[in-house]
Structure 1
Amino acid sequence: MVLAAPAQAQAPAEVGQWASTMNWPISATHASLQPDGKVMFFGEFDDGLGPPRRWDPATNAISSLPVAGYNIFCAGHSYLADGKLLVTGGHLASHEGLADASLFDPFTGTWTRLPDMNDGRWYPSNTTLPNGDVMVISGEIDGVGDFNEIPQRYIAATKTWKNLTTAKEEIPYYPRMFLAPNGKLYFAGPGRETLWLDPAGTGSWKAGPKSLFGKRTYGPAVYMDGKVVFIGGGDPPTATVEMIDLAVAAPKWQYMAPMSVKRRQHNATLLPDGTVLVTGGSSGNGFDNAKKPVFLTELWDPGTNKWTKFSSNKIYRGYHSTALLLPDGRVLGAGGKNTKNGELFSPPYLFKGARPTVSSAPGDVAPGSTFTVSTPDAARIKKVTLIAIGSVTHAFDMNQRLLTLNFTKGNGSITVTAPSNNNVAPPGYYQLFLVNEQGVPSIGKMVKITIVSASSPSAATLPDP
């Protein structure tokens, strides 16, 4: 058991603070932050047939949502440009996937069935594309190793599917897929062999740079400012961390500072100040070793390449656990196999003084533009970040990405430069944060990144990998 007794005696401004456990009716095996700041979650096994729940962080109230009409456990999910959640595949039995797909509308709380996919998908990954379409990759069909090898593109405008027939490839389930600045999709793992997917036409794969460690199964990977960071994972688990910069001409993996403890089945959450919070997991060998729980919370700062130990939570968060950044800067840790509860972590930045205020900001932001954010704290703003709203399951958030924005200070406002194009910022809802000189973030302001036509100069891409 990995505890942190010395850290727990420290002040919250140094190590943060976990709140009391919240008992919930189902395990939050799949969790998504809605554009209204509430959390939609659904459970494991037969709970995937029942009603998803919606939790309101402001009131702590939980309500039931309509059922999808089939078992959405083990589905993939990501957000469309309009804020609807695309849910792909589902659970017939272990390693047997459904071909079903649906849209969940968080504004009306309703489901819309879509045409079936080309075959079953159990553990697929969704990746939003620059024009708002979504690429769905992998997932098992009818047994262990029976992977759906044909990627499919969800055409958002027509609610139809397109098979990438020339991109047939056996890709492991819940692949760590990311939209890169060049407009291609990067398959980062969990194995050493990585790939680039060109989604144009009927698709094509190209070999990518090999990562350094072996298989990082059930290890999270995150995207921040063009870089992918892969943290821990594997069996036996590792504490190692590696990073690749997808924005350079010749990307290659490099080791970063390791965590203080090895982990698998953990979660990694992007924070407003540009750091990465790691929670939960197991340090033991085997699939989901609850006898070796990791309760210690750790934070990685990419600016210093250093890890800091934070306070420990109380509940083992392993297989089927999730973690999400909330608009108020707290992090929800929830779920786990047969674990029907949640915990809230307040990072140290919430104990370091008054937070900046966002008086007003535009609801829609076009890539390549500049926009004004009114704030009485303009003189003290040090950083501005955008974080795409999270949608997480099985140690991987398919939707979160962090972008650091340039800005200039004015009198009572700042002028912010939006991301250059939709390759950098795929369309959809993001949380906009202002961070002051003490590292304290504002409340996240929901903004929608709009779609800029590919013919626009601001949508130009980097050279091919």
Structure 2
Amino acid sequence: MIFSSLLAFALASAPSALAATKGGTFEEVGDTLVSAMMVFLGNEGKVYILDKAEGNPTQVNGHPAWAAVWDVETRKATPMDVQTNPFCAAGMHLPNGSFATFGGNGATSPGGEIGSVKYDGGYAASYDETYKDYDGRTSIRIITPCDGDITSPECLWYDGNDGPKMQKQRWYPGAESLPDGSVVLIGGFVSGGYINRNTPNVNPAGDGSEPTFEFYPSRGEAKVMDFMVKTSGLNAYALTYLMPSGKMLVQANYSTILWDYDNNVETPLPDMPGKVIRVYPASGANAMLPLTPKNNYTPTVLFCGGSDMPDSAWGNYSWPMINTFDYPASADCQRLTAEPLDGSAPAYEQDDDMLETRTMGQFVALPDGTMLVLNGGNNGTAGYSTATGQTATYGEMPWGMSLASGPAGRPAVYNPNAPKGSRWSNAGFASSKIARLYHSSAILLADGSVFVAGSNPNVDVNTSTIFPTTYKAEIFYPSYFDAPTRPKPTGMPKTLSYGGDPFDITIPASSYSGSGNDAAANTSVWLIRGGFTTHALNMGQRSLQLNNTYTVQDDGSITLHVAQVPPNPNLITPGPILMFVTINGIPSNGTQVIVGNGKIGTQPTSAASVLPASIKSDKAKGSGSQKTTSTSQDSGAVSLKGSALLGALMAIVAAVGMIGF
């Protein structure tokens, strides 16, 4: 009894102990007005949000809103008008800092029904008179983020029937930015469904699938991509990563290729071990690891979680054949270096399992060189349904329309540089109180925190079901928010080139404590592109460390001599990106810069930057506050507050044991 009481007291005290510091915690930050199915950081101060056309209570121009912009400083959202239905679209940055979204679904009416103005045959609608949404399956919507009045004409979404169009209808398409700033669009569905096939699957190139690719801006007629036929069924939101050679790593179902998109030539790579599915609706957490001078800017892609359900369980356009919400997600992680520098054959490498099974988990690259995973569930898949092959009616569905259960509320951090066996940690991390399942999202903000929003496993707005339509937003603060001092560099550029002359950044002595030489030796400059996030994907996300040397001044200030982006636009395609200066794992606020010339077309390149030798000063000392906590970058990956709490609990257990209870 005493043991139980003491343990309960210790556990009850844990939130208070954690609340004393900010790192590892969630904070609720207001209402997004529309459920955040799609999110991107438009500039340092604005998060843009897109939803499907549905009955959100917020109105704009006489219809429910399905777009909004969230102000980082005021933490207030403002509705925006989008005319077409962007349900499950793709998205990507453009070289000038604009963003585009591609595709979506047909016009929808209340309850997720087909809109009122139907095409011949009644299979889809061009318009709905209630929601006032247009068919979005071929739509291309473009916005140029603004700092000023978002109601100004130049700040609005460019969308509508008179806007640019794709050649093919695409719902759940893949998208990847190319070295000239254009975008390739891959596959998708013609219209709705759980997975991209009928059963029996006798027409994998037809029925409701769209196994072609095309470009924006257009390069001519869409062409069939054989890989999208071979992977029929499980190829929605195909995973795409541009490689240094200019070829593209593409993964879907359990298959993998290197793809020469210019000539439409596919080179098979090994299958995913264990046939674990990572694409939607298994929705694993997938991301390219940071590109650094240490790894010679060689891309390695990490695939984690998803589902190893057998092929027969996945079902068809209608629903899965099993109760997915009872089937545990995968915790498996695999690394793949598709273009090894030593010329060896590419092969998947078993990595550390995640700390828990997770579907719909999402990787967010952090400016300390680690990868945060958050959101999702322990069981099931993405998607929603009124039935499964084992549950005949909606009334029998235990989690409403959700095909997942067991919300995974506690984030974890992956350190790619830690020894194998110790790369994952969630020490000191709180759990969100909000279920973030299907149609949730997360994006890195300029201050290094993570904006988290969405969750809506429902066909239309439903705020009374067990996993409701969610409008509450949160911010998650990584462990480095416990640092008493953040770097405050000056001289951050507005643009970066591919190769060319280096530039200088100044770090004042107040940005660190202790030896100036040690601080300089442990300083890095990071470029982080958060990408366009939807369905546990961050399309276009990249993390790249710029090379640098330094000069340490006697007064404690440090001048960083920083290389331009490596002269290969395949590594970081042209467009907007955040630049951070990180000292001992503690990042500055990010500054948005433009990589490249801001135009679609062949990017100018110069020779790689030549840096001067580093210069030290034994007199230099920092004047910042002393570091009092560890960060997620530490190889031990355990924060002081987490270890202190564990120590307190162990002390209580030991004390109780000594008195004989």
Could you state the TM-score of these two structures normalised by the residue count of structure 1?
Answer: 0.89
Which residue is 1:400 aligned to? 541
- Distance of 2:54 and 2:451 partners within structure 1: 24
Q: 1:117 and 1:386, CA in 2 relative to 1: closer, same or farther beyond 3 A? A: same
Q: Secondary structure at the match of 2:481?
A: helix
Following the alignment from structure 1 to structure 2, what is the Cα–Cα distance between the partners of residues 29 and 9? 33
The verdict on how the C-alpha distance between 1:99 and 1:7 changes in structure 2, with shifts beyond 3 A counting, is farther
Q: Specify which of 416, 419, 430 is matched with residue 577 of structure 2.
A: 430
Is the Cα–Cα contact under 8 Å of residues 22 and 477 in structure 2 kept in the other structure? no
Paired residues of 1:181 and 1:423 also in contact (CA < 8 A): yes
Give the equivalent residue in structure 2 for 1:244. Answer: 336
Cα distance in 2 for partners of 1:208, 1:449 equals: 31
2:105 aligned with 1:91: yes
Contact 2:306–2:329 (Cα < 8 Å) also in 1: yes
What do residues 381-436 of structure 1 show as CA deviations (whole Å, max 9, x unaligned)?
52221111331000101021111222111244211123311011111111111111
Please name the residue that 2:487 is paired with.
356
Alignment of 1:165 onto 2:211: no
Q: Are residues 1:149 and 2:295 paired?
A: no
Q: Give the deviation of 1:247 after TM superposition.
A: 4.3
Amino acid at match of 1:35: N
**Alpha carbons 1:356, 1:375 under 8 Å: kept:** yes
CA contact (8 A) 2:579 2:593 kept: yes
Offset at 1:376? 1.6
Q: 2:68 touches 2:78 (CA, 8 Å); kept in 1?
A: yes
Q: Secondary structure at the match of 2:527?
A: strand
Q: Give structure 2 stretches of 5+ with no counterpart.
A: 1-10, 57-63, 113-122, 125-135, 147-153, 197-207, 292-298, 310-327, 383-401, 457-468, 553-557, 609-661
Describe the superposition over 1:288-346 as per-residue Cα deviations: whole angstroms up to 9, x where unpaired.
45541111111111111411112211100010000000000111111001111111111
- Higher percent of residues as strand: 1
Take 2:155 and 2:339, find their aligned partners in 1: how far apart are those partners?
Answer: 38
* 1:103 paired residue among 131, 142, 145: 142
- Structure-1 separation of matches of 2:93 and 2:435: 28
| Relative contact order, higher structure (CA 8 A, sep 6+) | 1
Please state whether the residue corresponding to 2:525 is helix, strand or coil: strand
The reply on whether 1:228 has 2:287 as its aligned counterpart is: no
- In structure 1, the residue matched to 2:646 is none
Q: Is the 8 A contact 2:546 2:562 kept in 1?
A: yes
Contact 2:183 2:216 in 1 (8 A): yes
Instruction: Tell me which residue corresponds to 2:369.
Output: 274
1:79 correspondence with 2:137 = no
How much has 1:142 moved relative to structure 2?
3.6
Matches for 1:271-310 after TM superposition, within 5 Å: 271-287=366-382, 288-289=402-403, 291-304=405-418, 305=420, 306-309=423-426, 310=429
TM-fit CA distance, 1:283? 0.7
Q: Distance in 2 between matches of 1:223 and 1:6?
A: 39
1:334 corresponds in structure 2 to: 453
Partners of 1:126 and 1:6 in 2: how far apart? 47
Q: d(CA) in 2 for partners of 1:229 and 1:322? A: 19
Which has the higher mean CA deviation after the structures are superposed, 91-100 or 399-408? 91-100
Matched, 1:320 2:439: yes
Report the alpha carbon displacement of residue 348 of structure 1 after superposing the two structures with TM: 1.0
Amino acid in structure 1 at the alignment position of 2:78 = S
**What SS does the aligned partner of 1:28 have?**
coil
The match for 1:59 among 61, 74, 90 is 74
What are the Cα deviations for residues 77-123 of structure 1, in whole angstroms up to 9, with x where unaligned?
01011111111001116897711112122133223344321221111
Instruction: Give the SS at the match of 2:212.
Output: coil
State the AA in 1 paired with 2:32.
W
1:184 corresponding residue in structure 2: 247
Whether the 8 Å CA contact 1:166–1:204 is kept in 2: the answer is no
Counterpart amino acid of 2:157?
W
| TM superposition shift of 1:458 | 5.3
Q: Which AA in structure 2 matches 1:77? A: G
Cα pair 1:22 1:343 within 8 Å, conserved: yes
Residue 38 of structure 1: aligned partner: 46
**CA 1:256–1:357 in structure 2 vs 1: closer, same or farther (change >3 Å)?**
same
Q: Which residue of 2 aligns with 1:199?
A: 261
* In 2: Cα distance, 1:161 partner to 1:115 partner: 14
Partner deviation per Cα, 1:258-298 (whole Å, 9 max, x = no partner): 11110001221110011111112111235445541111111
Q: Distance in 2 between matches of 1:135 and 1:5?
A: 52
Change in CA separation of 1:6 and 1:388 when aligned onto 2, cut-off 3 Å: farther
CA contact (8 A) 2:34 2:65 kept: no
Q: Distance in 2 between matches of 1:47 and 1:443?
A: 37
Shifted more, 287-296 versus 340-349: the winner is 287-296
Which residue of 95, 116, 139 corresponds with 2:188? Answer: 139
Matching residue of 2:564: 418
The 8 Å contact of residues 29 and 393 in structure 1, kept in 2 or not, is answered as yes
- Mapped contact 1:325–1:390 kept (Cα < 8 A): no
Gaps of 5+ in 1: 460-465
SS, match of residue 255 in structure 2 = coil
TM-score by length of 2: 0.64
Which of the pair has more CA radius of gyration? 2
Query: What is the CA RMSD across the aligned residues, in angstroms?
Result: 2.6
Q: Distance in 2 between matches of 1:39 and 1:320?
A: 16
1:455 & 1:365 partners in 2: Cα distance?
11
SS state of the match for residue 369, structure 2? coil
**Conservation of the 8 A alpha-carbon contact between 1:153 and 1:163:** no
Q: Which residue of 2 aligns with 1:385?
A: 526
* Alpha carbons 1:34, 1:389 under 8 Å: kept: no
- Between 180-189 and 409-418, report the one with greater CA deviation: 409-418
Measure the CA separation in 2 of the matches of 1:128 and 1:392: 14
Distance 2:17 2:245 in 1: 44
